[in-house]
């Protein structure tokens, strides 16, 4: 759990800060809100106090702190300071080292990471003075989150809109994860494949892609460059992950083989169809009274092909079994000569937000108790780092 100081400066986007606060607390973080005087014109301190369960600080001379040094005390307690929204005025203060209120003084006296989420009119964002200030803050090591593009309160559309709370929360939480894979490249497959029968029908499966996407996010959080080859799913791409969309197993195989030479770690999470239709029709098959016969041929085994390369990456496979998990998973690991295989019971995991995994490698099996898929993905990163990175030191 981390302790975060959430700073709010004056801007209409301040209303989003309440949702950001809620999301951070939902992830188990404690949050202390510090507001500027201008911020109070857009959202009430009472609202933020009720949500955080902590008194909101506004005044650098606040007498609730015994030594009257709230700017020192609050900063020393924080693991990170996040300013959302960060107005053009407040950004200018930070860039020039000004300290004329509690929040700006707190930022100047900090000894922890500082992240800002700019929010302003598009002309203000494009102004050369703002560009200089952002460049200075970046040079000073401040992390800039956004802004995004969209409809603004003034009625105009363009760059300058504060990122949505869910995007900011993902950035903030990701930044606190250990950077186990800096300089490494992951190639990950996720989701189902779809094998066409005709232009409107096909063979697929119930994979939601959630586990693969969680692993892609966890790998990116760990500092790696991540390429995600995804079958057809309705999931948002994790931040700073390069996504390649495919449909069929053959398309997935081709995408993987184009990327695999540059990757250090390959994780095959996708539920790839074992068979495709040999006699696919390119016109819709009309419904008739007689039975329809489909000839099925085997699809490529992408994981086995990658593992058999002359210089393969570190390969991690997934085995979704309906029974006898340990027996079938270990057989699959040995047959494909994988250093690590992740097993789960399919009917307990498909489409769910949580899962229960067992890791199988040459040293034994390691159960990961049921948890949400992102938590499991982060635990998987730790195991891979221990086995892959640790073995090469």
The residues near 66 (Cβ < 8 Å, ≥ 6 apart) are none
Does the annotation count 154 as an active-site position?
yes
Q: Is 335 helix (H, G, I), strand (E, B) or coil?
A: helix
- What CA–CA distance (Å, rounded) separates 249 from 277? 11
The DSSP code for 28 is: T
List Cβ<8 Å contacts ≥24 apart for 128-135.
129/92, 130/88, 130/91, 130/92, 132/95, 133/91, 133/92, 133/94, 133/95, 133/96, 134/91, 134/95
- What CA–CA distance (Å, rounded) separates 315 from 295? 32
Exposure string over 43-76, b if 16+ CB within 10 A, otherwise e: bebeebeebbeeebbbebebeeeeeebbbbbbbe
Single out the catalytic residue among 112, 154, 263, 315. Answer: 154
Neighbours of 356 (CB within 10 A): 16
Task: Identify the helix (H) or strand (E) that includes residue 256.
Answer: helix 249-259
- What CA–CA distance (Å, rounded) separates 127 from 129? 5
Catalytic residues: 154
């Amino acid at each position: 759990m981390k302790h975060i100081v959430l700073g709010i400066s004056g801007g209409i986007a301040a209303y989003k800060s309440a949702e950001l606060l809620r999301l951070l607390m939902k992830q188990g973080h404690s949050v202390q809100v510090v507001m500027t005087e201008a911020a109070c014109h857009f959202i009430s301190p009472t609202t933020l106090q009720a949500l955080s369960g902590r008194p909101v600080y506004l005044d650098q001379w606040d007498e609730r702190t015994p030594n009257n040094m709230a700017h020192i005390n609050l900063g020393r307690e924080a693991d990170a300071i996040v300013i959302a929204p960060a107005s053009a005025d407040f950004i200018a203060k930070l860039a020039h080292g000004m300290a004329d209120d509690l929040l700006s003084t707190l930022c100047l006296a900090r000894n922890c990471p500082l992240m800002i989420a700019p929010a302003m009119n598009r002309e203000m964002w494009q102004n050369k003075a703002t560009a200089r200030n952002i460049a200075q803050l970046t040079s000073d090591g401040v992390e800039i989150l956004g802004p995004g593009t969209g409809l603004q309160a003034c009625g105009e559309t363009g760059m300058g809109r504060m990122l949505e709370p869910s995007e900011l929360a993902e950035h903030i939480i990701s930044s606190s994860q250990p950077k186990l894979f800096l300089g490494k490249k992951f190639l990950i497959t996720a989701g189902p494949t779809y094998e066409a029968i005709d232009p409107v029908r096909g063979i697929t499966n119930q994979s939601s892609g959630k586990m693969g996407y969680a692993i892609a996010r966890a790998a990116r959080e760990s500092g790696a460059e991540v390429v995600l080859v995804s079958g057809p799913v309705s999931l948002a791409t994790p931040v700073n992950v390069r996504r390649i969309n495919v449909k069929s197993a053959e398309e997935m195989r081709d995408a993987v083989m184009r990327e695999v030479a540059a990757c250090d770690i390959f994780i095959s999470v996708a539920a790839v169809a074992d068979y495709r239709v040999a006699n696919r029709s390119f016109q819709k098959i009309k419904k008739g009274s007689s039975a329809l016969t489909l000839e099925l041929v085997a699809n490529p085994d992408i994981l086995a092909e990658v593992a058999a390369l002359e210089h393969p990456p570190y390969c991690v496979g997934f085995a979704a079994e309906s029974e006898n998990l340990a027996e079938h998973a270990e057989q699959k690991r040995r047959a494909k000569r994988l250093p690590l295989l992740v097993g789960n019971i399919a009917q307990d995991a498909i489409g769910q937000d949580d899962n229960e995994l067992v890791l199988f490698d040459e040293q034994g099996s390691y159960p990961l108790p049921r948890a949400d898929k992102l938590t499991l993905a982060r635990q998987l990163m730790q195991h891979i780092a221990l086995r892959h990175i640790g073995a090469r030191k």
